[in-house]
A and B are shown apart, each in its own frame.
Chain A
Amino acid sequence: MSDADGRREIPRILSSRWDRKDGYTLDGYRATGGYQGLRAALRMTPAKVAEEVTTATLLGRGGAGFPAGVKWGFCPPGVFPRYVVVNGDESEPGTYKDRIIMESDPHLLIEGTLIACYAIGASQAFLYVRGEMALAQERIAQALNDAYDAGFIGRNILDSDFSVDVILHWGAGAYIVGEETALIESLEGNRGMPRLKPPYFPAAKGLYMQPTVVNNVETLANLPWIVSNSGQAFADLGAERSRGTRLFAVSGHVENPGVFEVEFGTTTFRELLYSDAYAGGIRHGYDLKAFIPGGASAPWFFQEHLDLPLETNVVGAAGSMLGSGAIVVMDETTDAVKAAWRIVRFFARESCGKCTPCREGTSWLEKILRRMLDGAGRPEDLDKLLDICDNISPAITWPPRQTTICPLGPSAVSPIASAIVRFQDEFRAYCGGGEVTVAIGGKAYVPAPTATPTVGAPT
């Protein structure tokens, strides 16, 4: 089957209930196949469920893109209890998809969470919703109450020997809590600061130092479909490492901003940004200046990247990332310095303060950029900005190196370094001249506006 553009029709794994008025209720959910994935899972062994997820090559949808099946496998054998923690602390600038799932289809998330608990052997799950999302909390609270009453959660679920509690928990405003070890700290009643690594994965030592699987909302929402239709059916969609479908939020200077479910790995940025089925092109006929392919932490992309597919490895090889599926489009009217400053201000405000390079570095980057915008830029500022970047993330490479416990600091570096190099004249205009002499290590930052990146190049 294919649509008018010749593109094959794809199943709506994640967004099928968004248009239904009652999609968020238990009745609406059950009327549209809800909780069939859980029933299917209970007919399989837990190991078989985990195997299906591994076969599906379900990459984590929170930002890091780590395969969910592999992550589950890091739970040390024989160590119990195990916990599942749902990361619903969506707050990467540009990202808007987990909130839609939580508000419009909360039972899908709950069903996915139950399947994960069954597979890894967790007896308790904590659903951590961002504090600012009052409606999502309401919808999930109601959905949990209804699901308990209907016997989908609790003791002996659907008359099986599977028993689990799902507890709604909510945060209180802190971007850094999206980092999984910070999320666990927060869930333990502490300041949300990332933990020192190793251990690298909470699956080894997480909540209360027990094996803990932390999965993103969108990641878990795929599980009912995968279990019902098989991991292979999921893997049949998409390309290379990027399988299944994925939600992308396209925001900024486009005619039709929105959240779109597309086939992962095959759809190109050009299709997503320009097709009338999706974002509908740059607003008012302006030209594209730059776009952020994966949330504020991602280095910027430009015209020459439009024909790249939304594929994890391809985008990584081209010097950026798909991150949290957040595409922010900037047209030619955008002030690159202003945009870079606003992103840096975010990281400066959200730095938890644990590591010096991030705490001090992001603040100084913000101050210098603010001073430039206020008309007091100096010729040495360009070099100074990049020197600070280099101190947070040595050699400013992609993927970034870290002097910090978590990637927040380097996340402030990559986008502004890419902006400074590409739009050097704009930065210079704010500084009364100036030259870049700091060496930049990543090939992504060498401006090559005429070159077309090779699609599908091996990494």
Chain B
Amino acid sequence: MARLSPENVAIATDTIARYPRRRSALIPLCHLAQEQDGYLTEDAMEHIAELVGMTPAEVLGTASFYEMFKLDPVGDYVVNVCTNISCLLMGGEELLHDLERKLGIKAGSTTPDGRFTLEDVECIAACTEAPCLQVNYRYFHRVTHGEVSQLIDDLRAGNRDDVPRHGVLSRVRQVLPENRAGSVAPEVGVEPVWLSRNRTEDEEGAAR
């Protein structure tokens, strides 16, 4: 239930400056808010709207289109099991059912203690490594019955440092240094120098 922290506002301001149009930063900022709070709160969406110059309704309009933005609290660990075609053929549904039994919930819900959310998801691009799943968007390939049970136990016991809490995606941020070229707004209709110089050379070449 929070607006972006001062630290995150600084990151947001830096992110917005990377784009020729402020609202292009909308999805990265929604991820930033989700990283802060674990899900996308109304307060954060209002704050983002102020930062990118949109209405809160427009922010919600965009955010609600995308699967990854959670508008309600989710578990510390969101377990996404792929059941699409390649995984289906290799036991993805059985893997999902195993997890339903292990966690005592149906796909699409969260355990009462708020630790785990289980989702039945579409293809996550690990088809040759089926059946596969993700926990907070970290991949687990060719998962077996025994492994998945152990994984849940380890997560519950806090023994998996490789899986950050929900909302954290890349743990490395792009840093634009002093030598950045700079955003080019659509209004700036100037031909880049390396093109105009070479165009002249080409044309002269053609003329010769």
Residues on A lying within 8 angstroms of B by beta carbon are 45-47, 78-81, 90-96, 98-99, 118, 121-124, 130-135, 137-138, 141-142, 144-145, 148-149, 151, 154-156, 160-165, 167-175, 186-193, 208-210, 249-253, 257-259, 292, 296, 326, 328-330, 334, 338-339, 342-343, 346, 349-350, 352
Quick one: given A45-B201, A346-B84, are A168 and B174 in contact (CB under 8 Å)? yes
Offer 28 A-B interface pairs, CB within 8 angstroms, sorted by A: A80-B192, A81-B186, A93-B127, A95-B125, A99-B125, A122-B192, A131-B66, A133-B137, A137-B172, A141-B172, A141-B173, A148-B175, A154-B177, A172-B66, A172-B68, A173-B66, A173-B68, A175-B122, A189-B26, A189-B62, A249-B127, A249-B128, A252-B85, A253-B89, A328-B86, A328-B127, A329-B89, A330-B89
Contacting pair B89 A123 (CB below 8 A): no
| Chain B residue at minimal CB-CB distance from A148 | B177
Closest Cβ–Cβ distance, residue B18 to chain A (whole Å) = 5
Contacting pair B179 A188 (CB below 8 A): no
The reply to whether the CB of B153 lies closer than 8 angstroms to some CB of chain A is no
Q: A432 vs B179: C-alpha distance in the bound complex, in angstroms? A: 70
The reply to whether the CB of B193 lies closer than 8 angstroms to some CB of chain A is yes
The reply to whether the CB of B114 lies closer than 8 angstroms to some CB of chain A is no
Contacting pair A78 B191 (CB below 8 A): yes
Contacting pair B31 A131 (CB below 8 A): yes
Report B-chain residues with C-beta under 8 Å of the C-beta of A191.
61-62, 65
Q: A189 vs B189: C-alpha distance in the bound complex, in angstroms? A: 23
Contacting pair A208 B20 (CB below 8 A): yes
Report A-chain residues with C-beta under 8 Å of the C-beta of B104.
none
Residues on B lying within 8 angstroms of A by beta carbon are 18-21, 23-28, 30-31, 52, 54, 61-63, 65-69, 80, 83-86, 88-90, 122-130, 134, 136-139, 169-177, 179-186, 188-195, 197-199, 201-202
Contacting pair B89 A81 (CB below 8 A): no
Closest Cβ–Cβ distance, residue A359 to chain B (whole Å) = 14
Quick one: given A186-B27, A257-B130, A330-B89, are A138 and B172 in contact (CB under 8 Å)? yes
| Chain B residue at minimal CB-CB distance from A347 | B122
| Chain A residue at minimal CB-CB distance from B201 | A45
Quick one: given A132-B137, A161-B197, A339-B88, are A192 and B172 in contact (CB under 8 Å)? no
Contacting pair B202 A210 (CB below 8 A): no
Partner of B65, one of A135, A145, A163, A174: A174
Contacting pair B186 A251 (CB below 8 A): no
Quick one: given A124-B183, A144-B174, A339-B85, are A47 and B125 in contact (CB under 8 Å)? no
Closest Cβ–Cβ distance, residue A427 to chain B (whole Å) = 17
Q: A349 vs B119: C-alpha distance in the bound complex, in angstroms? A: 14
Closest Cβ–Cβ distance, residue B203 to chain A (whole Å) = 10
Quick one: given A46-B195, A165-B181, are A342 and B62 in contact (CB under 8 Å)? no
Partner of B194, one of A121, A124, A296: A121
Contacting pair B125 A343 (CB below 8 A): no
Contacting pair B68 A132 (CB below 8 A): yes
Contacting pair B183 A93 (CB below 8 A): no
Contacting pair B192 A121 (CB below 8 A): yes
Q: A186 vs B66: C-alpha distance in the bound complex, in angstroms? A: 10
Contacting pair A133 B84 (CB below 8 A): no
Contacting pair A131 B169 (CB below 8 A): yes
Partner of B24, one of A90, A155, A187: A187
Partner of A142, one of B125, B136, B172: B172
Partner of A296, one of B18, B85, B89, B192: B85
Pairs of residues from A and B, 10 with the lowest C-beta to C-beta distance, nearest first: A173-B67, A172-B66, A189-B26, A189-B23, A137-B170, A121-B195, A251-B127, A154-B179, A191-B65, A173-B68
Partner of A46, one of B63, B126, B194: B194
Report B-chain residues with C-beta under 8 Å of the C-beta of A188.
21, 23-24
Contacting pair A338 B88 (CB below 8 A): yes
Contacting pair A165 B180 (CB below 8 A): yes
Contacting pair B189 A161 (CB below 8 A): no
Report B-chain residues with C-beta under 8 Å of the C-beta of A124.
20, 181, 183-184
| Chain A residue at minimal CB-CB distance from B22 | A189
Partner of A326, one of B26, B61, B127, B186: B127
Report A-chain residues with C-beta under 8 Å of the C-beta of B188.
80-81
8 additional A-B pairs beyond A122-B192, A132-B80, A257-B129, beta carbons within 8 Å, are A47-B198, A96-B127, A121-B195, A131-B68, A137-B169, A188-B24, A189-B26, A189-B62
Quick one: given A132-B124, A133-B125, A259-B128, are A79 and B189 in contact (CB under 8 Å)? yes
Quick one: given A165-B182, A350-B122, are A171 and B130 in contact (CB under 8 Å)? no
Contacting pair A163 B189 (CB below 8 A): no
Report B-chain residues with C-beta under 8 Å of the C-beta of A209.
186
Report B-chain residues with C-beta under 8 Å of the C-beta of A330.
89
- Most chain B C-beta atoms within 10 Å of own C-beta, residue among A134, A160, A253, A326: A134
Q: A169 vs B16: C-alpha distance in the bound complex, in angstroms? A: 11
| Chain A residue at minimal CB-CB distance from B21 | A208
Q: A167 vs B67: C-alpha distance in the bound complex, in angstroms? A: 23
Contacting pair B26 A149 (CB below 8 A): no
Report B-chain residues with C-beta under 8 Å of the C-beta of A208.
20-21, 186
Contacting pair B130 A189 (CB below 8 A): no
Report B-chain residues with C-beta under 8 Å of the C-beta of A164.
181
- Most chain A C-beta atoms within 10 Å of own C-beta, residue among B24, B61, B134, B138: B24
Closest Cβ–Cβ distance, residue A156 to chain B (whole Å) = 8
Report B-chain residues with C-beta under 8 Å of the C-beta of A292.
85
Quick one: given A81-B188, A154-B180, A250-B128, are A93 and B27 in contact (CB under 8 Å)? no
Q: A151 vs B181: C-alpha distance in the bound complex, in angstroms? A: 11
Report A-chain residues with C-beta under 8 Å of the C-beta of B28.
169-170
Contacting pair A130 B169 (CB below 8 A): no
Report A-chain residues with C-beta under 8 Å of the C-beta of B138.
134-135
Contacting pair B127 A95 (CB below 8 A): yes
Report B-chain residues with C-beta under 8 Å of the C-beta of A130.
125
